[in-house]
Amino acid sequence: MNRQRFHRTLYGQVLVATAVGVLLGHFWPAAGLMMRPLGDGFIKLVRMTIAPIIFCTVVAGIAGGGGVKTIGKAGGLALVYFEVVSTLALVIGLVVVNLVEPGAGMNVDPRRLDATAVAQYVGAGRARSATAFLIDIIPTSVVDAFVRGDVLQVLLFSTLFGVALRMLGARGASVFQLIEQLSSIFFTIVAGIMKAAPLGAFGAMAFTIAGFGVGTLAQLGKLVACFYLTCFVFIFVVLGGIARWHGFGIWRLITCIREEIFIVFGTSSSESVLPRMMEKLQGLGVQRSIVGLVIPAGYSFNLDGTAIYLAITTVFIAQATNTILGPARQLALLALLLITSKGSAGVAGAALIVLAATLSATGDIPVAGVALVLGIHRFMGEAMAVTNLIGNSVATIVVGKWCGQVDEVRLADRLAGATFPPAEDAEARRARN
C-alpha cells in the first residue's frame, strides 16, 4: 500500500504550520499577533457549516431508517454515558491536583489580583437553573437557532423534523432526497475549508505564543504539566478501558482521527473539526442517526477535557490563595461542578465562564483567582479540546454499539487501516469475499 509523503498529508501540514507559528510568535511577536485573523477566520468558516450539517445528518439519519425508538434509546443512553464519564473526569482531576499540589507555596494575596481582568467571565458566568437550561434548548424560532448556531437548539429541531419526515413516508421522499443532496454539498464545502486548516493552525498558534508568551507558560509550568498528565491518563486509562471493553483499541482510534487531533491542537477548538468528525465516524461504520445525535449532544454534555480543567484549576486557585478545602468541601465542589459545567454548555469561552461561576458559587475561593490562569488558558485549551474530541469519538462508537447501530466489520477494518469506498457496506464486502 502506497503511503502519502508526510508533507502531503493534512496532519503533516498542520503539524509543520503549528511549529512555524510557535517560532513566529516567539521570535517576532508583533508579527505573530497579526496572524490572529487566520485562526479566527478558519474557525468561523467551519462554524458556518455546523448547523446545516447537523440538520442534514440528523434528519437523513432518522428519516432514512434510524427510527424513533432507536433515537430515543440512543439519547437516553448517551446522557447516562456522558454523566458517568464526565464525573470520572472530575474525580480524576481532583485526585491528581491534590497529589501534585501545583498551587502549594504560591501564597497569592487575592486582594492584589486584578479583578477587572476576569469581570467579563464573572458577568457571563452566573449558573442557570436546570429548568432554565432545558427551556433554553427550545429555540425562539427555527431561524434564530440556525442564525445563532446553537447546537442543542438545532439538534432539537432536526430531531423533530426527521421524525415528522419519517412519518410522512413516501410523501416525504422528495424532501429526503433534497436533504441528502444538501448534505453532500455541505460536506464538500467542509472538505474545501479543511485545506485551509494549516493556515488556521499557524495563525492561532502564532497569536497564542505572541500574546501570552512561553514565559507565562514557564511560570505556571507545574499546573500545565499536571493538566496534560491528567488528560493523558484519562485518555489512555479511562477511555482506553472503555474502548477495550467494547472491542476496539483507543490507540487505533487515535491513529484514525490523527488529522482531526492535530487540527484541534493547533486551533485550540474542537468545533473546528465537528463536521469532519461526523463524516469520519460514519465512515467507521456508526449509523448516521447515532452520529447526528451523539456528536452534537456530546459537544455540550460530554466535555471530558473541560471537566478535568475545571477540577484542576479550581483546586489550584484554592491552593495558590491558601484557601483550605477539606474532603467534605471537595465533595461539595464535585457536586457543584457537575451542575455548573452543564449550566453554561455551548457558551463561547465556556471553560473560563464556568470556572468563574463555580468560584462564585463556592463563596470561599476568590473569583479574582481566575486571573492566575488567564495567561495559560490557551495552552491548556489545546489539551482540553483534544481530550473532548477523543472523548466524544469514543462515546459515539460506544452508544452506537449499545444500540446495535455499528457495522462491526467496517469498524474493525477501518481501525486496522483498511480503506473502502464510503458506500461499501459490510454485506457488500461479505459478498465480494
The per-residue pLDDT for 431 is 41
Q: What is the pLDDT of residues 235-247, one digit of tens each?
A: 999 999 999 999 9
Is the pLDDT confidence value at 35 over 50? yes
The per-residue pLDDT for 303 is 81
The per-residue pLDDT for 396 is 94
Lowest mean pLDDT among 151-160, 201-210, 413-422: 413-422
Q: Which residues contact 19 (CB under 8 A, 6 or more apart)?
A: none
The per-residue pLDDT for 178 is 92
Is the pLDDT confidence value at 432 over 80? no
DSSP line for 235-291: IIIIIHHHHHHTT--HHHHHHHTHHHHHHHHHHT-GGGGHHHHHHHHHHTTB-HHHH
The per-residue pLDDT for 418 is 57
Cα–Cα distance list, 309 to 4, 90, 238 (Å) = 36, 8, 16
Give CA–CA dist 162/178, Å, rounded. 13
How many helices (H) and strands (E) would you count in the chain?
A: 23, 0
Lowest mean pLDDT among 78-87, 344-353, 421-430: 421-430
Lowest mean pLDDT among 104-118, 144-158, 174-188: 104-118
pLDDT level of residue 215 (50, 70, 90 thresholds): low
Q: What is the pLDDT of residues 266-290, one digit of tens each?
A: 887 777 888 889 889 999 999 988 9
pTM of the model: 0.82
Is the pLDDT confidence value at 348 over 50? no
% of the chain at pLDDT higher than 70: 84
Average the pLDDT over 379-384 and give the result: 85
Q: Are 420 and 340 spatial neighbours (Cβ–Cβ below 8 Å)?
A: no
- Give the residues across from 406 on adjacent strands: 286
Is the pLDDT confidence value at 125 over 70? no
Is the pLDDT confidence value at 426 over 60? no
Q: Which residue has the higher pLDDT, 127 or 299?
A: 299
- Give the residues across from 286 on adjacent strands: 406
Is the pLDDT confidence value at 7 over 70? no
Is the pLDDT confidence value at 399 over 90? yes
Average the pLDDT over 307-317 and give the result: 90
Average the pLDDT over 399-403 and give the result: 93
Is the pLDDT confidence value at 260 over 50? yes
Is the pLDDT confidence value at 385 over 80? yes
Q: For 120-140, b where at least 16 C-beta lie within 10 A, e where not — what string?
A: ebbebbebbeeeebeeebebe
Q: What is the pLDDT of residues 285-311, one digit of tens each?
A: 999 889 988 888 887 778 888 889 989
The per-residue pLDDT for 402 is 93
Average the pLDDT over 183-194 and give the result: 88
Q: Which residue has the higher pLDDT, 53 or 151?
A: 53
Q: What is the mean pLDDT of the chain?
A: 81
Q: For 228-254, b where at least 16 C-beta lie within 10 A, e where not — what string?
A: bebbeebbeebbbebbeeeebebeebb
Q: Which residue has the higher pLDDT, 121 or 369?
A: 369
Q: Which residue has the higher pLDDT, 154 or 215?
A: 154
Average the pLDDT over 320-325 and give the result: 84
Average the pLDDT over 389-394 and give the result: 94
Average the pLDDT over 4-26 and give the result: 80
Q: Which residue has the higher pLDDT, 127 or 393?
A: 393
Lowest mean pLDDT among 50-59, 98-107, 194-203, 332-341: 332-341
CATH number of the 7-419 domain: 1.10.3860.10
Is the pLDDT confidence value at 398 over 90? yes
Average the pLDDT over 109-136 and give the result: 62
User: Coil, strand, or helix at residue 80?
Assistant: helix
Q: Are 261 and 393 spatial neighbours (Cβ–Cβ below 8 Å)?
A: no
Is the pLDDT confidence value at 427 over 80? no
The per-residue pLDDT for 226 is 92
Is the pLDDT confidence value at 397 over 90? yes
The per-residue pLDDT for 218 is 66
The per-residue pLDDT for 347 is 47
Domain boundaries, the chain: 7-419
pLDDT level of residue 332 (50, 70, 90 thresholds): confident
